[in-house]
Amino acid sequence: MIRRWQGGAASGSLMLLPTLAWAHAGSSAGWLHPLSGLDHLLAMTAVGAWSVQIGGRAVWAVPGAFVCFMFLGGVIGFEHIELPLTEVGVAMSVVLLGLAIALRQRLPLLVAAGATALFGIFHGYAHGYEMPLMQNKVVYTAGFLATTATLHLVGAIGAHFLQKVKRGDGLLRLSGAASALCGLWLVINAV
């Protein structure tokens, strides 16, 4: 009971920290950008966790679609081509991925990969758009793609082990619900 309370308190306190909510802290290193905001952290770990819930080829295809289309979004962001509602798209990815985990949605592979590809475009755009002018685009891009893939792996490994322990699936689904709630808070602050 104490651990549940501590986990809830930790989640609640994160929601009170608006400076951590959006990954726009001006990090000059591409690898750091995905780590600088709650929105990116939640979505990217959720992609890995959800892919494990779906199982099979989704374990590689779903995160792979996110990373590939994140690259595309990053290129669009570098060029400062306007992508409307980027912040809302990033926040909605947190909501929808959290709900997918909470509800244990095992969508067909193409649908799941397509959804995460769309989310990847928004996240990549945010990374590319905010790249410091003096930064090397290749190094910056390699950095945020590598960190993203690592966060996917963290989510996947966490989900894999949670599914193997007693009540672990319930904890995974509860974490998805908590993520979705954080995402709702992010959506409200984005509009």
Examine residue 5 and state whether it is found in any structural domain, yes or no. Answer: no
User: Model confidence over 161-185: pLDDT tens digits?
Assistant: 999 999 999 999 999 999 999 999 9
Q: Is the per-residue pLDDT at 12 higher than 90? A: no
Tell me which DSSP letter residue 16 carries.
Answer: T
Examine residue 51 and state whether it is found in any structural domain, yes or no. Answer: yes
Q: Is the per-residue pLDDT at 7 higher than 60? A: no
Across all residues in the chain, what is the average pLDDT?
85
**Count of the separate structural domains present in the chain:** 1
User: Model confidence over 18-57: pLDDT tens digits?
Assistant: 333 334 444 456 777 677 788 999 999 999 999 999 999 9
Examine residue 109 and state whether it is found in any structural domain, yes or no. Answer: yes
Tell me which DSSP letter residue 27 carries.
Answer: -
- The CB-side HSE value for 68 (13 A sphere, CA atoms) comes to 11
Residue 181 domain boundaries = 24-190
Examine residue 13 and state whether it is found in any structural domain, yes or no. Answer: no
Examine residue 136 and state whether it is found in any structural domain, yes or no. Answer: yes
Helix (H) or strand (E) holding 56: none
Number of other CB atoms surrounding residue 137 within 10 Å: 13
Q: Is the per-residue pLDDT at 144 higher than 50? A: yes
- The pLDDT, as a whole number, for residue 28 is 54
